Structure 1
């Protein structure tokens, strides 16, 4: 049974991945990086380190930017240095598509020029650059995974906010915005990690991760309505008026502000072509629709 070290197991992705590995011929072990002596807890028999721990993007903008670099950059660098001196074969670093860009009118690929504007994205990118700049000892591999928005049962995020709005019967006021966004089912995340761990021929590198199909927010509203047996109520209010309301929300700290409006209506399509080609598959095991329905259905409970 393969021993695997996982950081960030208290988070949504980490907890799900931990349980998945337990069921798929792995022996995952938690590494608590909050422990000042964490580097003495590394199990030398482990084959891989999966680094998920980090400071998430704070949409309320109350965090000190330095905190992102202390956690997302420095801690990742320290852990990677320990990995280089260890017997572990693989280092899997969970970065983010936000390390590439904050707005994406074109499809984001692994070749897209990086230009993050937030401390969160910049801190992730700096960690990536450090990891990729180091010389790997023979027999070791390193993977930088850039997932789009990960979702799954019990995940609290924008999907849950949309669910609450639709289930309450409140009309969706942003129907005039036409967009396409990539999402990533937690099932596909777990599948990818399993493939990396089991297949030694997969080469080191940077890999985007997203479901095969993108969805518009209006399509999400329709999907939520169908799963909750609610009538779809989408309003096509003037974009100019919506932007004005969002700016007022910035000042008065209302649920709708400019950043949340961007998240709900922006285009952000991520290509997963590289990882699928590497794995030799045409489609990921969980379709975008299946994954979204599974997540939405969990809100019903």
Structure 2
């Protein structure tokens, strides 16, 4: 059987690198990794193409024969963006560049375009026990989330115009070996054994381990029912911040030194320090409903949160 050629953009990124490894090991797929430079951590069997400026690039040279594009490349969310016009900067990469690639993919006969979006399209928080759903009215609250929504809308219009199938996946926070950013900072704090005032937080947050997210992407590459659908990704196990810290500590084989400070007091302190956004991520709830992926695709997250945290801590460089 002829192997399907899968083009992965952002192939040097956190998600892209993990996906390339899985594609190479898949008997039905071959990997075409698009990035600015070759990743020495890629396994043998990866074909590389140089990815120029996405918003103006011509991709015709390497789209021929590609069956599916998995578009991971993006300008990612940052906590303190210092550019004069953040929305414009996000739109350049996340909207205009995405649609430039998608139009050329459709013209080249690519069958399916899989877009890695973000739960920020849905919003920033949920009431506990009322998770986000793929059919909720989008409510992005920052330029990053808005740019991802605009890209989704443009892709769905393109699907109607060209017949190329679109699949959208919105992950929440992704963790795993080599994770950076806030999750890496959390691991460092726990590893130092410092007392943390987060022992009485009763929120609920959905996460997705990198192995689970990649598994869902693989399922969406060729499952007939995934065409022109939006899915939320998650581990299927929601944790409070306190439970997450305890889980990280357990994975390290360390005690969790957590002081039970009331969430209301922490929230007040964060507001006085101008750290409301940080407090929201630590104290607020953000849950996602992965029922659609389960029902339409027969998908179940293959890796538990406990095992995902163990892999993250074991193989992480932080």
TM-score by length of 2: 0.85
| TM-aligned CA deviation for residue 246 of structure 1 | 2.2
User: After alignment, is 268-277 or 171-180 more displaced?
Assistant: 171-180
| TM-aligned CA deviation for residue 279 of structure 1 | 1.6
The separation in 2 between residues aligned to 1:83 and 1:40, in whole angstroms, is 8
| Equivalent pair of 2:195/2:258 in contact (CA under 8 Å) | yes
Q: 1:273 aligns with which of 286, 291, 297?
A: 291
User: After alignment, is 29-38 or 290-299 more displaced?
Assistant: 29-38
| Equivalent pair of 1:163/1:299 in contact (CA under 8 Å) | no
2:177 alignment partner, SS class: coil
Give a deviation string over 1:207-264, Cα, whole Å, max 9, x none.
11111111111011111222223222211224454234324543xxxxxx32222112
The separation in 2 between residues aligned to 1:163 and 1:100, in whole angstroms, is 27
1:41 alignment partner, SS class: helix
The separation in 2 between residues aligned to 1:278 and 1:145, in whole angstroms, is 14
Instruction: Please tell me whether residue 67 in structure 1 is matched to residue 89 in structure 2.
Output: yes
Instruction: Please tell me whether residue 298 in structure 1 is matched to residue 315 in structure 2.
Output: yes
Partner of 1:254: none
| Equivalent pair of 1:276/1:284 in contact (CA under 8 Å) | no
Ranges of 4+ aligned residues in structure 1 off by more than 6 Å:
none
| TM-aligned CA deviation for residue 202 of structure 1 | 3.7
1:54 alignment partner, SS class: coil
Aligned pairs for 1:236-275 (under 5 A) are 236-250=260-274, 257-275=275-293
| Equivalent pair of 2:225/2:297 in contact (CA under 8 Å) | no
| TM-aligned CA deviation for residue 46 of structure 1 | 0.7
Instruction: Please tell me whether residue 17 in structure 1 is matched to residue 37 in structure 2.
Output: no
| TM-aligned CA deviation for residue 57 of structure 1 | 0.7
2:62 alignment partner, SS class: coil
The separation in 2 between residues aligned to 1:240 and 1:191, in whole angstroms, is 38
Q: Which sections of structure 2, spanning at least 5 residues, go unmatched?
A: 35-50
Aligned pairs for 1:11-90 (under 5 A) are 11-25=13-27, 26-31=29-34, 32-34=51-53, 36-63=56-83, 64-65=85-86, 66-90=88-112
| Equivalent pair of 2:60/2:108 in contact (CA under 8 Å) | no
Q: Which sections of structure 1, spanning at least 5 residues, go unmatched?
A: 251-256
Aligned pairs for 1:144-163 (under 5 A) are 144-163=168-187
| TM-aligned CA deviation for residue 108 of structure 1 | 0.4
| Equivalent pair of 2:7/2:69 in contact (CA under 8 Å) | yes
| Equivalent pair of 1:171/1:233 in contact (CA under 8 Å) | yes
| TM-aligned CA deviation for residue 61 of structure 1 | 2.7
TM-score by length of 1: 0.90
User: After alignment, is 96-105 or 171-180 more displaced?
Assistant: 171-180
1:93 alignment partner, SS class: strand
| TM-aligned CA deviation for residue 33 of structure 1 | 4.3
Alpha-carbon RMSD: 2.0
